[in-house]
């Protein structure tokens, strides 16, 4: 059975992986900008879980920026 720490690390890894993939596909469709924002929000949550508040703050700001870009790209 995985420990809480291991599960937290998996969550962080998945969050950053989603961010990377979504960022690389943003030019293809608007939904990837939203996915990037969600990945940033998850990465911010992960950073808060590991008590890395500066990283959590930066990722939260990136999530807001990405949401604004997503809204701006409405058809």
Cα 12 from Cα 10, distance rounded (Å): 5
The DSSP-derived string for 36-47 is HHHHHHHHHHHH
pTM attached to this predicted model? 0.92
Residues whose CB falls within 8 Å of the CB of residue 42, separated by 6 or more in sequence, listed in order: 11, 14, 15, 18
Percent of the chain past pLDDT 90, that is, above it, reads 95
Nearest partner of 63 among 28, 18, 13, judged by Cα: 18
3-state secondary structure (DSSP) of residue 30: helix
Domain ranges of the chain: 4-72
Q: What is the pLDDT of residues 42-71, one digit of tens each?
A: 999 999 999 999 999 999 999 999 999 999
Instruction: With cut-offs at 50, 70 and 90, classify the pLDDT of residue 41.
Output: very high
Percent of the chain past pLDDT 70, that is, above it, reads 100
């Amino acid at each position: 059975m995985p420990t809480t720490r291991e599960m937290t690390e998996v969550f962080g890894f998945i969050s950053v992986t989603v961010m990377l993939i979504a960022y690389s596909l943003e030019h293809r469709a608007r939904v990837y900008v939203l996915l990037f924002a969600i990945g940033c929000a998850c990465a911010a949550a992960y950073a808060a879980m590991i008590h890395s508040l500066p990283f959590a703050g930066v990722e939260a700001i990136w999530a807001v920026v990405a949401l604004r870009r997503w809204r701006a790209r409405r058809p």
